[in-house]
């Protein structure tokens, strides 16, 4: 029988945890539907109880749980929102369980329709596999590379016959699929729902069967795929249905809408330490605790203490947010980089001093500022430069530029162009 100490020898939490403490740690931040929804609360209680039973069984038998997270690498640019389920997988990993990072090399061909109001574009396998390489390398900033099992679901899905697909589909009704909110809205609006979109839950459900999963981690948009499709197919194949560990979608820097690159409210995990720190500091106060729960290495007791300190006024929200920014930057860049990013933030934004280092740009004669901003990469285009000037987001030596046709004339001295709060350029 596995001893308690052995279960936790590789744990980053640093001390032994009882089964109840493990459940509390692993269910931290989980959400199974809208807050206050009785069905969601009931599902959460059921999954919590099943998780407790699996952990107790693991302790008795010495068999680690098989826990997996599936990702569809339809993009190679990850942001903090992508790391939320990865952080949950890492927690299971810390407690000695088998962490499987499943690359949806076959499901990506279809694309998950769960949170979409129209069909996704079908991708080719070469693009998916190239994205997967970049995706996996970034995931290892969260997961322990040496203790992560990497699988690709084309290994089994590509081998299914048409007869197999008919068998899988026989366990579900069209009504079950049309009851899903995104499909229901499209159906009511008369928008197209393509038949291949129904295949996705079947494919993801079969992943759980192929992996013989004890636990699957996913976002709230995955509840149907994990709870309904995955568990049902496992039972049909004579397996014990997996525990669904569901995490909410991380809000973006606006604190309201889900984090998304297309919406511009995202924090890239490959952002520089200074940029990442600054973006975290721009978060509204009300989402700080959500971020502590979903993207940091903090345990429940630590987060409860922070909540208590904020409510009683023992700590200022600014100081708590700086702690959050430090923690997030240290996860992706290390503690030294986090300290330097904080010093940069204090110097530039709190003390209103210029950063010690910034890129330089040399001009040979009178040059439109929009040309300099675009050529130096401070803006993506001249159009964006003009828009930022009209919005009052561009300064020269701390003087706001209001004319989109402003000409910079060299005078033999160095000047500083500033775009927004975090982009600087030394011009001479």
- pLDDT for 117: 44
Cα separation, 259 vs 78, in Å, equals 11
Reported as a single tens digit per residue, the pLDDT across 71-125 is 987 777 789 999 999 999 999 999 999 999 999 988 887 755 544 444 445 567 7
Contact status, residue 107 vs residue 203, Cβ threshold 8 Å: yes
The token pair that represents 313 in the structure block: 């006024």
The helices-and-strands tally (H runs, E runs) of the chain is 20, 12
How confident is the model over 324-346, as a mean pLDDT?
A: 94
DSSP string, 334-388: -HHHHHHHHHHHIIIIIS-PPPS---EE--SS-EEHHHHHHHTTSSSSHHHHHHH
How confident is the model over 54-76, as a mean pLDDT?
A: 91
3 Cβ contact list (under 8 Å, min separation 6): none
How confident is the model over 115-140, as a mean pLDDT?
A: 72
Quick one: 163 exposed, middle or buried, by C-beta within 10 A (0-12, 13-18, 19+)? Answer: exposed
Distances 319 to 264, 309, 357 between C-alpha atoms, Å:
26, 11, 25
How confident is the model over 304-308, as a mean pLDDT?
A: 96
How far the first Cα of the chain sits from its last, in Å, is 71
- pLDDT for 188: 82
Q: Is the pLDDT of residue 39 over 50?
A: yes
Confidence (pTM): 0.76
Reported as a single tens digit per residue, the pLDDT across 13-35 is 434 799 999 999 999 999 998 88
Cα separation, 287 vs 252, in Å, equals 9
Q: Is the pLDDT of residue 6 over 90?
A: no
List, in sequence order, every residue forming a beta bridge with 9; answer none if it has no partner.
none
Reported as a single tens digit per residue, the pLDDT across 230-242 is 999 999 999 999 9
DSSP string, 271-295: S-HHHHHHHHHTS-GGGHHHHHHHH
List the domains of the chain with CATH numbers: 4-247 (3.40.50.620), 273-350 (1.10.240.10), 360-427 (3.10.290.10)
Cα separation, 322 vs 313, in Å, equals 16
Cα separation, 42 vs 37, in Å, equals 9
Residue of higher predicted confidence among 418 and 421: 418
């Amino acid at each position: 029988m596995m001893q308690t100490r052995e279960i936790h020898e590789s744990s980053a939490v640093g001390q032994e945890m009882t089964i109840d403490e493990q459940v509390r740690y692993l269910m931290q931040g989980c959400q199974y539907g809208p807050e206050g929804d009785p069905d969601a609360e009931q599902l959460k209680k059921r999954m919590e109880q099943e998780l407790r039973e699996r952990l107790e069984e693991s302790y008795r038998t010495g068999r680690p749980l098989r826990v997996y997270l599936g990702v569809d690498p339809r993009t190679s640019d990850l942001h903090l929102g992508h790391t939320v389920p990865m952080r949950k997988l890492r927690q299971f990993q810390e407690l000695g369980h088998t962490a499987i990072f499943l690359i949806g090399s076959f499901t990506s061909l279809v694309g998950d329709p769960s949170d979409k109001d129209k069909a996704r574009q079908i991708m080719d396998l070469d693009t998916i596999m190239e994205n997967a390489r970049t995706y996996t390398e970034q995931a290892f900033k969260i997961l322990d590379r040496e203790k992560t099992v990497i699988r690709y679901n084309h290994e089994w899905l590509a081998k299914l016959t048409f007869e197999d697909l008919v068998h899988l589909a026989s366990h579900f009704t069209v009504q079950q699929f049309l009851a899903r909110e995104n499909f229901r809205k499209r159906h009511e609006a008369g928008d197209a729902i393509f038949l291949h979109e129904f295949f996705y839950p079947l494919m993801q459900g079969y992943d759980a069967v192929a992996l013989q999963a004890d636990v699957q981690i996913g976002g709230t948009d995955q509840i149907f795929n994990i709870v309904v499709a995955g568990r049902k197919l496992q039972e049909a194949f004579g397996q014990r249905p997996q525990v669904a560990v569901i995490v909410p979608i991380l809000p973006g820097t606006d604190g309201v809408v889900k984090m998304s690159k297309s919406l511009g409210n995202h924090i890239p995990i490959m952002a520089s330490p200074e940029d990442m720190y600054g973006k975290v500091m721009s978060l509204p106060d009300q989402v700080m605790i959500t971020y502590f729960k979903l993207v940091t290495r903090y345990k429940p007791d630590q987060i409860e203490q922070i909540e208590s300190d904020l409510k009683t006024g023992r700590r200022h929200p600014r100081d708590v947010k700086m702690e959050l920014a430090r923690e997030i930057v240290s996860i992706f860049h290390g503690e030294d980089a986090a300290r330097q990013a904080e010093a940069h933030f204090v110097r530039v934004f709190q003390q209103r001093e210029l950063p010690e280092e910034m890129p330089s740009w040399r001009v040979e004669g009178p040059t439109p500022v929009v040309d300099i901003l675009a050529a130096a990469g401070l803006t993506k285009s001249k159009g964006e430069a003009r828009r930022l000037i009209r919005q009052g987001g561009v300064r020269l030596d701390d003087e706001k530029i209001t004319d989109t046709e402003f000409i910079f004339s060299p005078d033999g001295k160095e000047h500083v162009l500033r775009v927004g709060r975090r982009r600087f350029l030394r011009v001479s």
